[in-house]
Amino acid sequence: MKPEDKIKELINESDVVTGAGSDKRILGDALEHLAELEQTNRAGAQPDIWSTIGKLAAAAMIVLAASIGIHQIAAPGIAWADVAERFRTVPFFSATIYIKDYALSEPRQLELWMGPEGRARMRIGHQVIFGRSGQTLKAFDVRGRQEVDPDEQAVELLDMLGDMEEYSLETIIRSISGGNLIDVTPLVNADAVISEDIVVFDAPSNGGPEWLRVYALRESRLPMGIRMWDPRKGKSVDVFISYFRQQPDEFFDASTFMTKLSDQSYTEADLAHVFLKDPGGQFITEKDMVEGK
């Protein structure tokens, strides 16, 4: 096999796609190096042909690697519209939200689960709250085991979520930012990317110093994390998003939840997540563990 044929074979066997133009340039660079080696060989002792091919192959692969790096950097990325559109297609999602009003304050945690037809369930503090299409339906105190007035922050969030029969990432962002981040198209932040599996988007506030960062998976184009930051006092909102196929109907049903309040076999910790099913089959509550389900 001729040296140039061996180089072509190496390029063709590579599992990286660069394109005809890149392949031609790589082969040209390698063959130019081959000519230089042949000229050197004429002036001295003839080396072993396979040693020469090995050197040429190494040179070709170095050029190929450099070309691959350039190709990957220049390759078209994922637009914000791709992430927003993909989010609309998920049937269920959950979000764990941490809110800090001040850089040195302790965060307040809020758990949100969204299902089809605008169904929502939240856990904030020792309250479990049920909603639908942005409206608060029922709120329960799991410590007092009774129906109560819903937490104001939870009501505000549900109200901002509005009619979520079709999920909207923009609505989620507007909700957690208190309406400060609206009508802004996030742009890719290449400096914040530490892995090719993740794409990062940044967006500034319309009229203030607040800014937003969204982390999404490149292949699935699903958002997995959101951070909102206000530099004035270090106020922040951090959101971790996860996805699952479905939850049982009773998980979103306030009436069914109410029947468990008087059941003393359920602790307040059990009530906080009663009926929640882990997509991997892991136990969620102590009650699940005892009953083996």
What are the tens digits of pLDDT across the range 80-129?
889 988 988 888 889 999 999 999 999 999 999 988 888 899 999 999 99
Q: What is the largest CA-CA distance in the chain?
A: 97
SS3 154: helix
Domains recognised in the chain with CATH numbers = 3-74 (no CATH), 80-291 (2.50.20)
Closest CA to 236 of 177, 188, 193, 184: 177
CA distances from 224 to 93, 198, 230 (A): 10, 10, 21
Q: State how far the Cα of 136 lies from the Cα of 118, in Å rounded to an integer.
A: 11
Closest CA to 208 of 244, 242, 243, 235: 235
Q: H/E element holding 132? A: strand 127-132
- DSSP of 205-224, one letter per residue? -SSSS-EEEEEEETTT--EE
pLDDT in tens, the chain (293 residues): 555 555 555 445 544 444 445 445 555 655 565 566 556 555 555 444 444 444 444 444 444 333 333 333 333 468 888 998 898 888 888 999 999 999 999 999 999 998 888 889 999 999 999 988 777 789 999 999 999 999 988 888 777 666 555 567 776 776 666 655 555 567 787 777 777 888 999 888 777 888 889 999 988 999 999 998 999 999 999 999 998 878 999 999 999 999 999 999 999 999 999 999 998 889 999 999 998 87
Order of all β-strands in the sheet with 235-244: 146-147, 135-141, 127-132, 119-124, 108-114, 92-100, 235-244, 223-230, 211-217, 198-204, 187-188
Predicted local confidence at residue 41, as pLDDT: 53
Q: State how far the Cα of 11 lies from the Cα of 5, in Å rounded to an integer.
A: 10
Predicted local confidence at residue 33, as pLDDT: 54
Give me the half-sphere count of Cα atoms (radius 13 Å) on the Cβ side of residue 58: 5
The predicted model scores a pTM of 0.68
Predicted local confidence at residue 67, as pLDDT: 37
pLDDT above 70: percentage of residues in the chain? 66
The C-alpha torsion from 95 through 96 and 101 to 106, rounded to 10°, is: 180
Query: CB of 181 within 8 A of CB of 212?
Result: yes
Q: Can you name the residues that pair with 242 across neighbouring β-strands? A: 94
Pairing mode of beta strands 135-141, 119-124: unpaired
